[in-house]
Amino acid sequence: MLLFSPAALADEPTRLGLSAGTDFPMSLGVRGGLELPFRLRISTSLGLLPKPYVKVIDGFLRGISAYDDATGDLVVSSLQSSLIWRTHVGYRPFPKLGLYGDVGYGLVTLGGGATTAELVSALAKVQIPAADQGAGSRSLTAKSSLHMVDVEIGWEQVFESGLFLRGALGGAFTFAASTSIEPDFQPRAPQLFGRLTSAGETYLDDVYTSYVFVPVLTLGAGYLFSL
């Protein structure tokens, strides 16, 4: 996160910034950061990826034809209400300007929701076992964790009171993913049904690592402390 200082580089103290805001459409949350001597920056944030944000991400990816509508439905189900942890390192190159650049890691995890065996079967191209066809509810729970590289270029304006505003543009790019798809019922052919869910997991992980990149707009406000 952080900082602007009119002092000479050698005299710049370590500063702590605490803020709240949004990394749209990735998260709503809080951020804490340090700016060290030489204007080196370290920050970490924790937030929630609400379902409306997931739909914005999905709409963007459908809009650029990254995947079809059925895949989008599964993506929304597997990511909704996830927690987002992001940690960055960066640099503010000019002592009297708030311009900064950050790069780091983002983890999307602990979310997910309901989908159907029919949808997973159609996407993964694996049939529902005959024993489980027509067996009533075939609801599944899909949960995905994404590992992402984050980049951000922004500006922080600090006021004499210690309050500051931050705005930035950046992006998040998925480099690894792990998906779990589990039936919400007891399959009559567990081994065969496991092939279906495993194929669905592989399909969704491939979608994430191949297509899921997100432009990010950051807006935040907080308070700055000199240490």
- pLDDT tens sequence across 56-86: 999 999 999 999 999 999 999 999 999 999 9
Mean pLDDT, rounded, for 168-172: 97
How many domains are there within the chain? 1
d(CA 197, CA 127): 10
Measured distance CA(81)–CA(202) in Å, rounded = 22
CA dist list (Å): 21 to 32, 116, 161? 11, 35, 19
7 is a domain residue: no
| Residue 56 maps to a domain | yes
φ and ψ of 169, to 5 deg: -120, 145
Range with lowest mean pLDDT among 84-88, 134-138, 152-156, 175-179: 134-138
Per-residue tokens: 21 = 């805001």
Q: Determine what percent of the chain is predicted with pLDDT higher than 90.
A: 78
Considering the domain boundaries, does residue 5 fall inside one? no
- Asked, for residue 1, whether it belongs to a domain, the answer is no
Q: Examine residue 89 and state whether it is found in any structural domain, yes or no.
A: yes
Judge whether 38 lies within some domain.
Answer: yes
Amino acid at 32: G
Whether the bond into 190 is cis, omega within 30 of 0: no
Which range among 4-13, 191-200, 210-219 shows the weakest confidence by mean pLDDT?
A: 4-13
Q: Find out whether 5 and 58 touch, Cβ atoms under 8 Å.
A: no
Whole-angstrom distance, CA of residue 106 vs CA of residue 87: 7
Least confident of 78-82, 119-123, 161-165, 185-189: 185-189
Separation between Cα atoms, residue 154 and residue 133, nearest integer Å: 53
| Position 139 in a domain | yes
pLDDT of res. 43: 96
- Model confidence pLDDT, tens digit, residues 4-34: 444 444 567 899 999 999 999 999 999 999 9
17 inside domain: no
pTM above 0.95, yes or no: no
Which residues of the chain form beta strands (DSSP E)?
15-24, 27-35, 40-49, 82-91, 99-109, 113-116, 139-158, 163-183, 213-226
| CB-count exposure of residue 181 (10 Å: 0-12, 13-18, 19+) | buried
CA-based torsion, 36, 42, 46, 50: positive or negative: positive
What is the residue range of 163's domain?
A: 22-169+187-219
Q: What pLDDT, on the 0 to 100 scale, is given for residue 137?
A: 63
